[in-house]
Amino acid sequence: MGYPANYRYTKEHEWVNAKDGVATIGITDYAQGELGDVVFVELPEAGKKLETGKSFGTVESVKAVSEIYAPVSGEVLEANPELLDKPETINSDPHGAAWMVKIKLANPAELEKLMDGAAYEAYIAAKGKEASA
Amino acid sequence: MNDKIKKATRHTNQNEGLIFEKSSPGKRAFELPPLDVPKVDVAKTLGAQHRRDGVGGFPEVSEIEVIRHFTRLSTWNYAIDLGMYPLGSCTMKYNPRVNEFVARLDGIATEHPYQPQELSQGCLKILQLLEKCLLEITGMDSITLQPAAGAQGELTGLLLIRAYLEKQGNARKKVLIPDSAHGTNPATAVIAGYEVQNIKSESHGQIDVDKLRDLVTEEVAALMITNPSTLGIFEERIPEIAEILHAKGALLYMDGANMNALTGVTRPGDLGVDVMHLNLHKTFSTPHGGGGPGAGPVAMKKILEPFRPVPILVEREGGKLALEQVRPDSIGKVRAFGGNFGVLVRALAYILAYGPGVRQATEDAVLNANYIRKHLEGVYDLPYSLPSMHEVVFSDAIQKRNGVNTMDIAKRLIDYGFHPYTTAFPLIVPGALMIEPTESESKEECDLFIGAMKSIAEEAANTPELVKSAPHTTRVKRLDEVGAARKPMLRWKPASRSHVAD
Amino acid sequence: MRYLPKSPAERQEMLAAIGAKSIEELFETIPEKYRLRDALKLPGPFAEAEVIDYFKQRAGENSLGYTSFLGAGVYQHLRSVITDTILLRGEFLTSYTPYQAEIAQGTLQAIFEFQTLMCQLTGQEVANASMYDGSTATTEAVLMAERLTGRARVLVARSVHPEYREVLQTYAKNSGLHVEEIGYTKSGTVDAASIKRALKDDVAAVVLQSPNFFGVLETLPGIADAAHAAGALLVVAIAEGVSLGAVKPPAEADIVAMEAQSFGLPPSYGGPYAGVIASRDKFVRQMPGRLAGQTTDTDGKRGFVLTLATREQHIRREKATSNICTNQALCALAATVHLTLLGKEGLREMAEQNFAKAQFALSELEKIPGVKRAFDGPVFNEFTLEFPRSVRTINGELLKEKIAGPLALGTGYPELTKHGLVCVTETTRRAEIERFAAAVKNILSKPL
């Protein structure tokens, strides 16, 4: 699976797709691969304020729980209702249908600090080399 | 599979439904003696708002169906009575049957915790003797038998520490926990109102004493240590660790899960430990019973004695024993009544059977673990090479090269007639195989286990698919845990969803 | 030693294989000054007969031969011998926690059946595989309500078992919970008006017990509505589960914390028992304790696994719903076997017998001059009486008649100095009830 060039990515494997002051956030294909089959997602309600770098939810597999960290700050407009019923969407379509939250950006400039598609792909390639070393 | 492997693996009685599926109105399994007082109309006396007309959906079966149902179910289980559980840090030793007999005696099983103390001297003597024995074993000054399990013992220990520090003026904020610790340790610290600070183990898997020196401040209430560590390695510098903590007014808590390596050989109290819990369902042979009951007594140094949970066992004049319910500095109660008395009885029976010779059990446990280690070194990767005590931790690094991991090896071990070892713990060893045979295994059983593990290592190298798709010989194959977590079905319902063919 | 399967020769062989000259070598990592030179000073070693003899002697120093009228959270009920037949099967007794599901289907299916029975009994949607006991189950239920509501205030009825409340206090102190006690009325039930006054939008839970410590059944609907209107959860503790055979279950409760000791577990001087938490499906992820779930294997065969384990300590560690690891599995199995034996009709009949015996005892005791029923609320198998003099002095005399009399309530309730809690079950024979009443009458007829 490719990593959309127009998205931005974090070291904790979240992606952001920003447009007109609204950002859609999810976790990457790499992250879902590491997690294994996702069984449950915990997401914030509309109105909750996200702080960059702070955890705003969790993703669970059978044997592990991972925190999801806010790549940028803002106010939650909507959490993806599909993930409540079908958490497995995160495994099948992590960059599209498995978006997690849509937020109103508090500070669009924060996006500059994140990696672009190419940088992220290089980052996870390096991680791959580390693991097999 | 190797013909020389002698263990039987096939389970009989493949099909047995849920008891509710065998139910039919009008069947009875149990009858009561007739009522010898006038019958009363419940609805009239209680009123319609309180009345219930029988429990809907409750099973209606006969006595033989109950016997067959549960007997069949039992044949689907592995058990110590059948063979070894090499589970690290679980100490799955033989559960002596005489313990079951004495716990069920009339006059033991029948006693009510609120009956007058004059009518409970037998029970109180049992408690007193057990207290004395456990203090002798641990080298501590005082003890509480109240906690229901290890985790509750840990909580009690931390609450004792908190109460002691509070009395000194500052309960402090943090508890230090090694990254190799059992999950109950950090979970408990949080419940006790402390912040958890994880300390990374050093390169040999031990506590990093130099780092510890920097970390212990007056904000630290305690360090929770497991000794031997969850790697099965004795923390040689524990007396130094105790000193570092004490110098800053902090205390040393020891998780006693691995006491099976120490009993009769050394005493935590002598090593500088201030407070510790014991797992009677591990070291002291009380049965696991599929997940409990256990008991987690907490032994402590004198400084913590005033804070013990009530009631406190005391001896009065004339040798009469009593339970005192009021102690001004007590942390209160962690559970109702005095403790899991039935479990305490079993533990005392175990201790009495061994007497002063209990050291032999510890020696045999350490002998077995080292024997297995010697034979599997080189076959499996050994990440930490310091001497092992009663358990040894390997990793799946060698087998992983062929795509076989510790989970797969564990599942394949089932086909050889063994219960798996502990997988994926401690967290500091990726792909861990944590093996603790206990003293209850004969040389023959150890050799069978070694043979099985060697055979699996060969399979991992030559026919990895066989290992990865194990187990092959069980009543059910690998179960869908993902489906169970995504759409939890946690009870039977009459309009049953169990449409799958058995 | 009979528990150690090694001969001296085998030990030598194994040492040789390791390359050690003696077993001492294997303990060299313990600094020498801390290695014990002498054997521990412990009694024994005892042969099997000596172990039995020791405990038989202790058994003879307890209450054999006495009739007891004690309840108060621990109940003497009929118990089939079949329960032990099953419990003593090695595959149940000596098996481990069912983490390896393929070789623990017996345990897992039994847990699934237990969870189902608990739901049926309590009228709730989901139940766990057991907690330590009723007192810790109640505490964990309150902590669960705290997590679900995000609030820190708890209203607890004084009519809840005093030890349950003590345990709650011990846990509450360290979790930022603020526990307030609510009094009771002359009918022996919680003061509902007080609860309503105390309910604000900072209350996480209202905690009641039914039948309560005085033996009286609480009336739940009004309190449940008030709690829910304030956004609080209703937690109901049940200490005497047999009542559920004749009394409507607390379906209005959001969380039920039940003690299962009445279902096939002997009193055993305080434990082991088994607590259960039962609640709504929507709260399951905040429920502590193990859960067995139904699933299928790769061949499509039905099977059971422990599930939703991410709530628990071995995965969540600091953020776990509870620190519980070992629970009371074998006790829960005892309850499962017992309830399966009793079945629908057996439990109903047992409950009705309890009820009838209590009404008979009540009428016999009320006939005694000076003895009054303390509370007029409806009761199941326990009731509170007020006596004309201290219960302790009466009990002292009753002991001479080999009767363990009512529980004196003065310790837990300083305002109830002359009150005693009487319990009768289906095991209390009519002749014993009459003998008890006669003895009390006789004692009271004499001057102090």
Is any Cβ of chain C less than 8 angstroms from the Cβ of B290? yes
Q: What is the DSSP letter of B485?
A: H
Task: Give me the percent of chain C exceeding a pLDDT of 70.
Answer: 100
Whether residue B7 has pLDDT greater than 60: no
pLDDT at B3: 52
pLDDT at B14: 65
Distance from CA of B421 to the nearest CA of C (A): 10
For residue C377, which of C187, C177, C239 has the smallest C-alpha distance?
Answer: C187
Pairing of strands B142-144, B195-199: unpaired
Strand order in the sheet with C407-408: C372-373, C382-386, C419-423, C407-408
- Give the pLDDT confidence of C6-53 residue by residue, as tens digits: 999 999 999 999 999 999 999 999 999 999 999 999 999 999 999 999
Cβ pair C218, C212 in contact under 8 A: yes
B484 and C249 within 8 Å at the Cβ level: the answer is no
Lowest average pLDDT, out of A56-65, B141-150, B368-377, B483-492, goes to A56-65
**CA angle centred on B58, ends B52 and B63, rounded to 5°:** 125
Which pair of tokens denotes residue C152? 């820190």
Give B155's contacts (C-beta < 8 A, 6+ positions apart): B147, B188, B191, B192, B334, C323
CATH of range C81-338; options 3.30.420.40, 2.40.430.10, 3.40.640.10, 3.30.1330.80:
3.40.640.10
* C-alpha dihedral sign at A23, A29, A30, A36: positive
B119 and C45 within 8 Å at the Cβ level: the answer is no
A40 and C316 within 8 Å at the Cβ level: the answer is no
- For residue B13, report the phi and psi dihedrals to the nearest 5 degrees: 55, 70
What is the arithmetic mean of pLDDT over C128-152? 94
pLDDT at B501: 31
Chain C CB contacts of A63 under 8 Å are: 309-310, 315
Q: Cα(C11)–Cα(B363) distance, rounded to whole angstroms?
A: 10
CB-neighbour burial class of residue B408 (10 A; exposed 0-12, middle 13-18, buried 19+):
buried
- Model confidence at B499, in pLDDT bands (50, 70, 90)? very low
pLDDT at A131: 59
- Give the pLDDT confidence of B213-259 residue by residue, as tens digits: 999 999 999 999 999 999 999 999 999 999 999 999 999 999 999 99
What is the arithmetic mean of pLDDT over B167-179? 95
- Domain covering B358-483, topology: Aspartate Aminotransferase, domain 1 (3.90.1150)
Q: Cα(B168)–Cα(B390) distance, rounded to whole angstroms?
A: 39
Q: Cα(B374)–Cα(B371) distance, rounded to whole angstroms?
A: 5
Mean pLDDT across chain A, nearest whole number? 91
Q: Cα(A104)–Cα(A125) distance, rounded to whole angstroms?
A: 32
Best mutation target among A38, A48, A61, A62 (most C Cβ atoms within 10 Å) is A62
- Alpha helices, DSSP H only, in C286-328? 313-316
Report chain A residues touching chain C, CB-CB < 8 A.
39-40, 60, 62-65
C89: left (phi over 0), alpha (psi -120 to 50) or beta: beta
**Domain range summary for chain C, segments of one domain joined by +:** 67-78+344-445, 81-338
B78 and C82 within 8 Å at the Cβ level: the answer is no
Instruction: Tell me the three state secondary structure of residue C400.
Output: helix
Task: Give me the percent of chain B exceeding a pLDDT of 70.
Answer: 96
What is the arithmetic mean of pLDDT over C140-163? 96
* C-alpha dihedral sign at B363, B368, B374, B377: negative
Give C25's contacts (C-beta < 8 A, 6+ positions apart): none
* Domain B101-356 bears CATH identifier 3.40.640.10: yes
| No. of helices (H) and no. of strands (E), chain A | 4, 9
Which pair of tokens denotes residue B86? 């090499």
Q: Cα(B88)–Cα(B108) distance, rounded to whole angstroms?
A: 33
Residues 141-200, chain B: which have Cβ within 8 Å of C? 148-152, 154-155, 159, 162, 182-184, 186-193, 196
Give A68's contacts (C-beta < 8 A, 6+ positions apart): A12, A14, A27, A55, A56, A57, A58, A59, A100
- Give the pLDDT confidence of C194-230 residue by residue, as tens digits: 999 999 999 999 999 999 999 999 999 999 999 999 9
pLDDT at B12: 52
Chain B / chain C CB contacts < 8 angstroms: 702
CB-neighbour burial class of residue B464 (10 A; exposed 0-12, middle 13-18, buried 19+):
middle
pLDDT at B366: 98
What is the arithmetic mean of pLDDT over C97-124? 96
pLDDT at B1: 45
Q: Which amino acid is at B126?
A: I
What is the arithmetic mean of pLDDT over C352-369? 97
Q: Cα(B112)–Cα(B101) distance, rounded to whole angstroms?
A: 19
pLDDT at B24: 95
A60 and B481 within 8 Å at the Cβ level: the answer is no
Pairing of strands C403-404, C67-68: parallel
Which pair of tokens denotes residue C139? 């505490």
**CA angle centred on B280, ends B275 and B231, rounded to 5°:** 70
What is the arithmetic mean of pLDDT over C411-420? 95
Cβ pair B173, B194 in contact under 8 A: yes
- For residue B435, report the phi and psi dihedrals to the nearest 5 degrees: -120, 120
- Domain covering A8-132, topology: OB fold (Dihydrolipoamide Acetyltransferase, E2P) (2.40.50)
pLDDT at B132: 98
Best mutation target among A38, A42, A65 (most C Cβ atoms within 10 Å) is A65
Residues 426-455, chain B: which have Cβ within 8 Å of C? 439-443, 445-446
Query: What superfamily does domain C67-78+344-445 belong to in CATH?
Result: Aspartate Aminotransferase, domain 1 (3.90.1150.10)
Length of chain B: 502
Whether residue B412 has pLDDT greater than 90: yes
Q: What is the DSSP letter of B83?
A: S
- Option in A39, A40, A65 nearest C316 (CB): A65
Give the position of tokens 């770098």: A53
Distance from CA of C315 to the nearest CA of A (A): 6
Q: Which residues lie across from B305 on neighbouring strands? A: none
Q: Where are the beta strands (DSSP E) in B345-404?
A: 392-395
Q: Which amino acid is at B178?
A: P
C136 and B335 within 8 Å at the Cβ level: the answer is yes
**CA distance to A126, C12, C59, C61, C222, per residue, from B121 (Å):** 70, 46, 9, 6, 47
- Model confidence at A64, in pLDDT bands (50, 70, 90)? confident
Search chain A and give the residue with CA nearest C319: A65
Is any Cβ of chain B less than 8 angstroms from the Cβ of A84? no
Strand order in the sheet with B392-395: B392-395, B432-435, B422-423
- Give the pLDDT confidence of B33-80 residue by residue, as tens digits: 999 999 999 988 888 888 898 899 999 999 999 999 999 999 999 999
Give the position of tokens 């034979």: B375
B149 and C325 within 8 Å at the Cβ level: the answer is yes
pLDDT at B53: 85
What is the arithmetic mean of pLDDT over B287-304? 95
A partners (3+ CB pairs within 8 A) are B, C
B37 and C430 within 8 Å at the Cβ level: the answer is yes
- Give the pLDDT confidence of C87-103 residue by residue, as tens digits: 999 999 999 999 999 99
Distance from CA of A12 to the nearest CA of C (A): 19
Q: Kindly provide the ipTM of the predicted complex, given to two decimals.
A: 0.97
DSSP B227-282: SS-TTS---TTHHHHHHHHHHTT-EEEEEETTGGGTTTT--HHHHT--EEEE-TTT
Q: How many CB atoms lie within 10 A of CB B392?
A: 29
Pairing of strands B174-178, C203-209: unpaired
Distance from CA of A36 to the nearest CA of B (A): 10
Buried b (16+ CB within 10 A) or exposed e, A68-105: bbbbbbbebeebbeebeebbbbbbebbbeebbbbbbeb
Cβ pair B53, B90 in contact under 8 A: no
Strand order in the sheet with A55-61: A38-42, A55-61, A65-69
Is any Cβ of chain B less than 8 angstroms from the Cβ of A67? no
Task: Give me the percent of chain C exceeding a pLDDT of 90.
Answer: 92
Q: Cα(B119)–Cα(C72) distance, rounded to whole angstroms?
A: 18
pLDDT at B11: 47
Question: For B282-304, what is the HEC assignment?
Answer: CCCCCCCCCCCCCCCCEEECHHH
pLDDT at C243: 97
- Give the pLDDT confidence of C373-403 residue by residue, as tens digits: 999 999 999 999 999 999 999 999 999 999 9
B partners (3+ CB pairs within 8 A) are A, C
Is any Cβ of chain B less than 8 angstroms from the Cβ of A87? yes
CB-neighbour burial class of residue C286 (10 A; exposed 0-12, middle 13-18, buried 19+):
middle
Residues 343-362, chain C: which have Cβ within 8 Å of B? 343-353, 355-357, 359-360
DSSP C99-164: TSGGGBHHHHHHHHHHHHHHHHHHT-SEE-S-BS-HHHHHHHHHHHHHHHH---EEEEETTS-HHH
Is any Cβ of chain B less than 8 angstroms from the Cβ of C39? yes
Give the position of tokens 């959490």: A79
For residue C304, which of B6, B297, B491 has the smallest C-alpha distance?
Answer: B491
Q: What is the CA radius of gyration of chain B?
A: 26
pLDDT at B500: 36
- Give the pLDDT confidence of A1-12 residue by residue, as tens digits: 789 989 999 999
**Domain range summary for chain B, segments of one domain joined by +:** 19-74, 101-356, 358-483
Cβ pair C424, C358 in contact under 8 A: yes
B28 and C345 within 8 Å at the Cβ level: the answer is yes
B482 and A37 within 8 Å at the Cβ level: the answer is yes
- Give the pLDDT confidence of C284-328 residue by residue, as tens digits: 999 999 999 999 998 898 999 999 987 877 777 777 778 777 778
